[in-house]
Structure formats: C-alpha cells, structure tokens
Amino acid sequence: MSTTEISSEIKLTIYHCNNAFGNDITHNIIDKEKINLKFINMACSSMVKDVFILRAFESGSDGVLVLVCREEGCRYVEGSKRAKKRVERVKKLLDEIKIDPKRLSFFNVSPDNKDATLKIIKEAVINIKNIGPLYSF
C-alpha cells in the first residue's frame, strides 16, 4: 500500500486498486485542486477491509471513496465484487452509528477512461463539501 497526501479543510480518502488507474491521476488532481486528498493504492480493491474504511474516518477523513476495477476486468476475478459487498456493509455500519453513509462511495473505474475517473473524484469532493465536515468541533 502506498499513499500520497496534501492538506486542506475537507479530507477525502481514496482507496483504489493499483490496476484501476496510475499515479498520473493523483498528480493531475493535486495540481488542479486545493483539496485534501489521501490516495491509498492497494494491490487489489478486495483488500479494503471494513476496518480500513472506518479507520480512515477515525483519522480525520470526512469522506471515503473506493475506486475499483470493472467487475469483468478484475485481475483477481472477484476482487471488485468483494470490495463492493464490503462497502455496502460499511455503509450500513455507518448508518447504525448515525454517520451519513453518503460519506462513503464506491465506483467501478477503468484505466482506459481517466477522464471519467477524474470526474468521479471531483464529484466526490463536491459531495463531501456539501455534506460538511464529519466532526464540527
């Protein structure tokens, strides 16, 4: 797992599969936006355990975005499906502790369509900015 981070007010953690997109996306975002994004690059999105997502919130993230390969394009066959199920479960857990599940989102992306991935990340940032910080104290 490798991470890239810059700082500002709203913080969004992005877990992504290593095969979903390359480092150029993270640089592209960092150059253009003054936002606090933390990219966590994983060998396969199926490594996104429940506790990783929760600990991102614990460590100050206002939102978490999980970006995985297309289901039919997963190099490890069922990694994207597993990640999707985990995210669905964590959304329920967040709801149970009265944290807006919309703070957590999940998308299938393709390394061939970087523009679409960039759009998803930018929309996720806007979404979290609209919801506001997780803790207001």
Partner 1 sequence: MIVGEQKPITEIIEIIAPYKQLLILGCGTCVKTCFAGGEDEVATLASMIRLAFKKDSKEIKIAEQTVERQCENEFIQEAAQNIAKNDAILSLACGAGVQAIAKRFPKVPVLPGINTTFIGIQEQHGIFTEECQGCGNCGLATFGAICPITRCSKKLLNGPCGGSQNGKCEVNANIECAWQLIIDRLTQLGQLSNLRTYIPPKNWRTSISGGPRKLIREDHII
96 sits near partner 1 (criterion: CB under 8 A):
yes
Instruction: Tell me how far apart the alpha carbons of residues 77 and 83 are, in angstroms, rounded to a whole number.
Output: 12
**What string of DSSP letters covers the chain?**
-EEEE---SSEEEEEEETTT--HHHHHHHHHH--SEEEEEEESSGGG--HHHHHHHHHTT-SEEEEEEE-GGG-TTSSHHHHHHHHHHHHHHHHHHTT--GGGEEEEEE-TT-HHHHHHHHHHHHHHHHHH--S---
93 sits near partner 1 (criterion: CB under 8 A):
yes
x-marked contacts with partner 1 along 31-60 as a string, rule CB under 8 A: ------------------xxx--xx-xx--
9 sits near partner 1 (criterion: CB under 8 A):
no
Q: Total binding residues for partner 1 by CB under 8 A? A: 15
Q: Which is nearer to partner 1, 10 or 25 (CB)?
A: 10
15 sits near partner 1 (criterion: CB under 8 A):
no
Q: Which is nearer to partner 1, 59 or 113 (CB)?
A: 59
Query: Residue 84 CB, nearest distance to partner 1 (Å)?
Result: 14
Q: Which is nearer to partner 1, 34 or 137 (CB)?
A: 137
